[in-house]
């Protein structure tokens, strides 16, 4: 495999994500054509499909030998396979439910993973003009300014992002509600905003101390993972073990201590794995 030029990959991705941002910024104001996927609340719009197409076509033109995992391509039947090859993992609109309702907590997420490790992450909320970026080993940035996690270790002082998700499976719903019930009297506050990627970026910028979720996919995690780890955050499995991007579970915290405290309290849920890792 030839050496990957991280800076070039970042520059190309940044440019394409900015272009995609224009599409999302315009489309969020308009009426959307909505279809459902795995459940009545798992939504896709023509904008999700158009943005993914735009990103994959631009990236594959610049990097013809790179691989792709895209949310809407996988929904349309493509395999979700992560190999050692440079792989762009794309969520064209993360927080689609928010986008549909014109709630401005939504983003475009593009991560490049090489040898199963994150190399580049670009996350853009074009409505609020928040561009989160990271290149491995170079720190994390919001609109060009370096960001870092809060470093909070005290559970009682922690603001926590939980999530509701798109699965209406009774066991999953019970897990979500049980975890909120358990954590509510122990933490400072709980929120559920509707975008795993942005949740991770808000931990990265120190606005939130913890986020966790069951049932998300590789494309909800790939870019946010790098942004938050480069900002000094901790990303682990919800049980506290090593993070596995295909396992569909994430716990992200401002400190190892806080991650451990939260993981011990969580009721666990294991959705079916995302695709395969080769
Ligand atoms: C969404 C996630 C969100 C989760 C939803 C959904 P989408 O991604 O970011 O955190 O709760 O279930 O997976 O579908 O809007 O790209």
Q: Where are the domains of the chain?
A: 6-147, 155-265
Atom of ligand 1 nearest to the CA of 97: 15
Main-chain phi, psi angles of 141, to 5 degrees: -135, 150
55-80 per-position pLDDT tens digit:
999 999 999 999 999 999 999 999 99
Instruction: Establish how many alpha carbons lie within 13 A of residue 87's alpha carbon, considering only the half-sphere containing its beta carbon.
Output: 23
Q: How far is the CA of 27 from the centre of ligand 1 (A)?
A: 19
| Amino acid 276: pLDDT | 73
Is 165's C-beta closer than 6 angstroms to any atom of ligand 1?
yes
pLDDT of 106 higher than 70? yes
Which residue matches tokens 């979720």? 213
Q: What are 36's strand-pairing partners?
A: 43
Find the distance separating the first CA and the last CA of the chain, reported in whole Å: 15
* CATH superfamily, with its number, for domain 6-147: Fructose-1,6-Bisphosphatase, subunit A, domain 1 (3.30.540.10)
Query: Is residue 262 pLDDT above 70, yes or no?
Result: yes
91 lines ligand 1 (CB under 6 A): yes
- Look up the CATH number of domain 155-265: 3.40.190.80
Half-sphere exposure of 124 (CA within 13 A, CB side): 22
**Could you identify the atom of ligand 1 that is nearest to the CA of residue 37?**
14
Determine whether 71 is an active site residue. yes
DSSP 220: H
pLDDT tens for 130-175 read: 999 999 999 999 999 999 999 999 999 999 999 999 999 999 999 9
Tell me the helix, strand and coil percentages in the chain, rounded to 5.
35, 25, 40
pLDDT given at position 278? 73
Residues 92-106 have a mean pLDDT of: 97
Domain 6-147 matches domain 155-265 at the CATH topology level: no
- Choice among 91, 152, 213, 230 that is catalytic: 91
- CB of 176 shorter than 6 A to ligand 1: no
Can 91 be counted among the known catalytic residues? yes
Alpha-carbon distances of 116 from 155, 196, 222, 246, rounded to whole Å: 32, 20, 10, 11
Token pair for 80: 């979700």
Which one from 48, 52, 220, 274 is the annotated catalytic residue? 220
Residue 153 appears among annotated catalytic residues: no
Q: 43 CA distance to ligand 1 centroid (A)?
A: 9
Token pair 């986020």 in the structure block, residue: 211
Instruction: Tell me if 167 CB under 6 Å of ligand 1.
Output: no
Atom of ligand 1 nearest to the CA of 196: 10
């Amino acid at each position: 495999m030839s050496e990957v030029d991280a800076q070039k990959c970042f520059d190309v991705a940044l440019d394409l994500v900015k272009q995609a941002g224009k599409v999302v910024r315009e489309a969020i104001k308009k009426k959307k054509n909505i279809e459902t996927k795995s459940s009545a609340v798992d939504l896709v719009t023509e904008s999700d499909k158009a943005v993914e197409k735009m990103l994959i076509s631009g990236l594959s033109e610049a990097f013809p030998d790179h691989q792709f995992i895209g949310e809407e391509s996988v929904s349309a039947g493509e395999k979700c396979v992560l190999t050692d090859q440079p792989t762009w993992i794309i969520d064209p609109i993360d927080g689609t439910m928010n986008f549909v309702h014109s709630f401005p907590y939504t983003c475009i997420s593009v991560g490049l993973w090489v040898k199963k490790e994150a190399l580049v992450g670009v996350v853009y909320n074009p409505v609020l003009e928040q561009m989160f970026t990271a290149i491995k080993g170079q720190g994390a940035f919001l609109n060009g300014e370096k960001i870092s996690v809060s470093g909070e270790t005290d559970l009682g002082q922690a603001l926590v992002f939980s999530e509701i998700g798109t699965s209406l499976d009774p066991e999953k719903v019970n897990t979500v509600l049980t975890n909120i019930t358990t954590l509510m009297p122990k933490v400072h506050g709980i929120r559920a905003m509707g975008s795993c990627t942005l949740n991770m970026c808000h931990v990265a910028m120190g606005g939130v101390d913890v986020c966790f979720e069951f049932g998300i996919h590789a494309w909800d995690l790939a870019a946010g993972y790098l942004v938050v780890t480069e900002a000094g955050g901790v990303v682990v499995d919800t049980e506290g073990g090593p993070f596995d991007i295909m396992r569909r579970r994430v716990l992200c915290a401002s400190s190892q201590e806080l991650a451990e405290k939260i993981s011990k309290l969580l009721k666990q849920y294991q959705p079916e794995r995302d695709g395969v890792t080769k």
